[in-house]
Structure 1
Amino acid sequence: MKMTDIPFGTTDWASIERTEHKGESGMAYWRTRNFGAIRVRMVEYTPGYLADHWCSKGHVLFCLEGELETELEDGRKFLLKPGMSYQVADGAEPHRSFTALGATLFVMD
């Protein structure tokens, strides 16, 4: 990831408009900022959220609260708890998210 033409700034995430994204079950609420080709999000998943698709987009994801289970298309599963992160490249290892308890994440892609 090459980051260029981004002046220093701060983000008050509570002031960023929240958008709704329905899962196969549950909801995801995104607060999104874009910096050129880089998207930065604060994402809240409701308890019982299950993604409605397999994602092939690359991300760097950091779990702030709750627990997030990430399933890879090949069947492997990984559990993130607060303070844990994962990273995956574009087009590598399709994945989807599930949370029984709910989760808050910081995501860059």
Structure 2
Amino acid sequence: MENLEIPFHTIDWKNVSRTEHKGETGIAYWQSLEFSGLRIRLVEYSKNYLADHWCEKGHIVYCLEGEVINELKDGTQSILTKGMSYIVSDNLSSHRSKTENGVKLLIIDGTFLQSTI
């Protein structure tokens, strides 16, 4: 595993700029911090959000508020509610997110999630 060498760091999310990403329906708002080999995001999906793509990236996802439906390309679905997480490595699933009432997530990804397959 790669040594990221990140010194002690506090994050005041209200000072992290927010970007807007349109879904197939709805909008995702990202606040992102990037380090070498690591990305940390606070992500909010609006009501009736549906991602506009199938994602192959690995993530560690923690649900802070609301509910998100995780859909796999094979049709399998799972639901995350406040306090729940999922984890997946790169290239081990095609997944996308959708919401009915919106959700707030902490998402961590980076080179440490690369699959050896």
| TM > 0.5 | yes
For 2:48, the equivalent position in structure 1 comes to 48
CA shift, 1:3, in A, is 4.5
Where does structure 1 lack aligned partners over 5 or more consecutive residues?
Answer: none
The answer to whether 1:103 aligns with 2:96 is: no
Q: Which amino acid aligns with 1:104?
A: K
For 1:73, the equivalent position in structure 2 comes to 73
For 1:35, the equivalent position in structure 2 comes to 35
Instruction: Work out the number of aligned pairs and report it.
Output: 109
The list of structure 1 runs, each at least 4 consecutive aligned residues, that deviate by more than 6 angstroms after superposition, is none
Q: Which amino acid aligns with 1:34?
A: E
Q: What SS is found at the alignment partner of 2:14?
A: helix
Where does structure 2 lack aligned partners over 5 or more consecutive residues?
Answer: 110-117
Kindly provide the CA deviation profile for residues 23-57 of structure 1, in whole angstroms up to 9, marking residues without a partner as x. 00000000000111100000001000000000000
Kindly provide the CA deviation profile for residues 3-33 of structure 1, in whole angstroms up to 9, marking residues without a partner as x. 4210001000111000000000000000000
CA RMSD in angstroms comes to 0.9
Give the TM-score, by structure 2 length. Answer: 0.91
Instruction: Among all aligned residue pairs of Structure 1 and Structure 2, give the percentage whose two residues are the same amino acid.
Output: 52
